[in-house]
Amino acid sequence: MTQTTTAGTNQAAAETATAGASSLRGGAHGIGGGGVIPGAIPQLSARAANPVLGAGFTVSRVPLAAGGIALTGGVPDPALLPIAELADAFTAVLGRPDAGTRTIQYHGPFGVHGLRSWIAQDQGTDLERVVVTNGALHSVSYAVEALIEPGDLVVVENPTFPLALQLFRYYRARVESVPLDSAGLDVDALERLLKAGARPKLLYTIPDFHNPATVTLPAERRSRLVELAERHGFVIVSDNPYGKLRFSGEPAPDFDLDSEHVVRAGTFSKVLGPGLRLGWAIAPSWLRDTFVRTRFAQDQHAGLVTQRAVEHLAQTDGLVERVVAGAVPVYAERAAVLFDALRQRLGDRFEARRPDGGLFLWARVPGADLTRVLDLARARGLAFSPGDGFDPDGRSVHREWARFSYSSASPEQLVIAADRFAQAVAEADR
């Protein structure tokens, strides 16, 4: 009773869109007998009608029971977001005497200078490399738009983030995967793929607190990846939304932004709020200029009011750091509660690494089909994300795996969720 879609909270809409795309692509525009039927609608583009775009997160047709707990999206806890400070920031930038010219007019494509300066300092790079975008996935899309022709090869990790896969498929890229191990992307496997003749134009990676696998790529592997990119002529796109949410250990030095083969995508979503739709791309000049040329034909620039408000917030001394410092211990406690509760209830059948940052727990239950368990769990009042939806190859190699988000549930809810999951696993075993 499960299927795959890009929007687990809007399955009916996804099904309707997929069916509609199929019918329109099949010729519903009304051409026949040498003419066009008056009033008929036009045919969709091949990109828009691609049925693969209906694939993604695995969801269930079973309704979530009343009082259900959803451990699905990587959604920050609203109580940990600086809502009052954001309200003050928007009031301040709109209340300026020059707001009519400074805040609610058009703006240049690179983004607001003060905000770019803050991003550059935070990320350890030059302001000239920074372009403000509508979030990290938007930043990734610029790299894909600049580099990928239909049939070009993109290499991804397995497992990986489903919405990035949607993006690559939208641009009709070929996708090949490289496995992850306990330290992230298997660089030896990638090197074997390259030696066998693969010629990717882009490699997509989530280096810190990987989604869904939660691993962090060590500095040595990051350096090797840059060496391979420079030797074989591909671009590394580093999607890093979780890096600030570290519970323990020391951060690894990130990919060298001085390389002409590295793009970093970042976002304010996990710290300040996803509704802002604000992020950044850091790119070498040859790609940055292409991003900007693309932008003139698309959105022109990120929303100026939001840029000004976040600029105001970021320039408030230490505010972003205080928000992060307040969120990290809360998420760390919730990660520990969920990990311990699942281990206590499942015993030896629970395999996972204890998260040291980020918003997710990636767990395996050997012998279980967690796509089927999802149906049983939803009937009991629990939603989670089965591993099949994160498999870029579609071979169901992650059927025993699941991703749980602990970010927006209370410790008490997480214990209840562990109970419901264990009960669903036991029912599936019978």
263 vs 49, more confident: 263
* Prediction pTM value: 0.90
Q: Give the whole-angstrom CA distance, residue 359 versus residue 349.
A: 22
Which domains occur in the chain, in start order? 2-52 (no CATH), 62-75+321-429 (3.90.1150.10), 83-318 (3.40.640.10)
pLDDT in tens, 357-386: 999 999 999 999 999 999 999 999 999 999
Q: What is the pLDDT of residue 394?
A: 87
Q: What is the pLDDT of residue 44?
A: 86
Contacts of 410 (CB under 8 A, 6+ apart): 334
Q: What is the pLDDT of residue 46?
A: 81
pLDDT in tens, 81-138: 999 999 999 999 999 999 888 999 999 999 999 999 999 999 999 999 999 999 999 9
DSSP letters of 208-241? SS-TTT-----HHHHHHHHHHHHHHT-EEEEE-S
Judge whether 203 and 237 are in contact, CB under 8 Å.
Answer: yes
Confidence of residue 25 (pLDDT cuts 50, 70, 90): very low
- Residue 164, Cβ neighbours under 10 Å: how many? 25
Mean pLDDT of all residues belonging to the chain: 91
Beta strand 153-158 pairing with 202-205:
parallel
Amino acid sitting at position 202 = L
pLDDT in tens, 305-356: 999 999 999 999 899 999 999 999 999 999 999 999 999 999 999 999 999 9
Structure tokens at 6: 């890009």
**Stretch among 6-20, 184-198, 373-387, 402-416 having the lowest mean pLDDT:** 6-20
Which residue blocks in 187-302 are alpha helix, DSSP H? Answer: 187-195, 219-232, 285-296
